[in-house]
Structure 1
């Protein structure tokens, strides 16, 4: 047996408003909490449910950053504290995008907001707020990006009108100084609708098979799994609804079939490590479970999902009507330099 780890209708009410304003004076308070909206809009958004998305936008930088860093690239993948791009021989360099390419990405972001009613997007491979603003142009707050020099960062695009609090980086996910930290945000903090989200971009290269193989990417991913489990277990003990979103770089449909193994510090697989009912209530539901793979475009090289959204039992019980969607790129944009990922969406309704 695996051992436990040691270690907004309410916004419209007076007391919830007081609680929110009190929270705003602590931790990492953000202008996005209450600015530019009425309390009624935030309350109605929460009452209608929550629509989550995750999107890896593949090395999204400003043109100026891409040009400057491309001129001094390094042969190896830069470490987290390096402001650099890789130019590894034999490997495709980070993309250079035209204005038309970025406009096409922006149309996808617009469809997330207007066609799918997405409330928050967990972002991966985005070089912070300035880079994200090229694509998420209006109606979004771009925040909670990890403090990493490397251009591949994780963070969030949060729809205007939703109060939120950034909780700081999950720095422990950078297990070797060259992997990616997690971005952590709380929506509707201090209210009954509170939900906590973790955006992750886990180590690439170990898409399937047991993690104990003699293969460096699997060894790094194996180190990251207990870090996420500790985060999950802490949220369960706190009684806070939560979700994990991002690029897991893992075929979770296959991973979920096998046990985590007896050693919590060195698991064989991901899902059963995180969803082990230990502590009681540590149970995760997966957006892509049982869903047919939908390619991003006719040139999509993936055959199975590696981007996913996982929610806990508390959030699932709050939203019993759940609808999965994938947002492929427009067929008219085939051939443009967009991303090797497109959004995964999970709409959660009461």
Structure 2
């Protein structure tokens, strides 16, 4: 971040104007640093309560998540599949973190596959921001949900008095083809509607010379050579305008190696990437993962920006 960050009092006033009840006002002064480590993590059905939801976890499981999360040394984490702020506090302690959770309403629960008698908990996008980093929570990016209660909102925050905007997305699952416009199954027809909405969001910020990062679970193999959506999203007049953190990396999943989680940087923020900082963190382990090693069905991915 810039050497001189937003004054604490000014941010408190601005935050007070926001309607995001989940945001806690910063309580300590930001450290004097230009580096910002961003992490994206689909944490898999993070529920409020022990033993609930489609990834029922014990108290020991929550503790394992919390212990591991501390090793990420992140400044900001964009999470997907989070029930609420209460669920976040089980993994990211309130003494160290601030929270922004999507306002998406609870959708109808379904019985969890493989867990008879257990029902799904709401899936929301969320940010956790290290205390001492000042930010403003933007309105949810609701249009990405297509007025469909089964789809997720985008969640957005801005930093450094609007110098940098972060958008956390969890796109429709089930469309894993190279050309999403040629597939007529429901998942792909939904993706065909979401795609242009996200592309418009990106193009507006490119035109306005706004620094931004889009990160999250895209549920799409964007770095495949022939992926149509990535070609549409990342190029303008034939010129590459976006970069994916996963361009030269693979997923950590024992079975699915083509990444569907991405941290995407625009023309300005790409210039801020610290060389070699793009990473897939396999829960602190080296080599091929076993299913038993996975605390969630996605591994966190990260990169560090040095903001000028």
With the length of structure 1 as denominator, give the TM-score of the two structures: 0.73
Structure 1 position 177 matched with structure 2 position 149: yes
Say whether the 8 Å CA contact 1:37–1:161 is kept in structure 2: yes
Instruction: Describe how 1:113-262 pairs up with structure 2 within 5 A.
Output: 113=73, 118-137=74-93, 138-150=95-107, 151-175=122-146, 176-190=148-162, 194-212=163-181, 213-254=183-224, 257-258=226-227
Instruction: Describe how 1:76-87 pairs up with structure 2 within 5 A.
Output: none
User: In terms of Rg, which structure is larger?
Assistant: 1
Residues 333/196 of structure 1: CA separation in 2 closer, same or farther (3 Å cut): same
Residues 301/323 of structure 1: CA separation in 2 closer, same or farther (3 Å cut): same
Task: Give the match for residue 327 of structure 1.
Answer: 281
Say whether the 8 Å CA contact 1:33–1:164 is kept in structure 2: no
Say whether the 8 Å CA contact 2:280–2:299 is kept in structure 1: yes
Aligned-residue offset at 1:143: 1.2
Aligned-residue offset at 1:301: 3.0
Residues 33/319 of structure 1: CA separation in 2 closer, same or farther (3 Å cut): farther
Alignment coverage as a number of residue pairs: 286
What secondary structure sits across from 1:35 in the alignment? Answer: coil
State the alpha-carbon separation in 2 of the partners of residues 30 and 149 from structure 1: 16
- Cα distance per residue 1:143-162 (max 9 Å; x no partner): 14233314110010111111
Task: Give the match for residue 243 of structure 2.
Answer: 285
Residues 187/33 of structure 1: CA separation in 2 closer, same or farther (3 Å cut): farther
Aligned-residue offset at 1:243: 0.5
Q: Which of the residues 273, 286, 295 maps onto 2:252?
A: 295
State the alpha-carbon separation in 1 of the partners of residues 184 and 199 from structure 2: 23
Residues 272/205 of structure 1: CA separation in 2 closer, same or farther (3 Å cut): same
State the alpha-carbon separation in 1 of the partners of residues 10 and 27 from structure 2: 19
Which 5+ residue runs of structure 1 have no aligned equivalent?
Answer: 1-7, 71-93, 259-268
Structure 1 position 304 matched with structure 2 position 258: yes
Residues 340/252 of structure 1: CA separation in 2 closer, same or farther (3 Å cut): same
Task: Give the match for residue 71 of structure 2.
Answer: 111
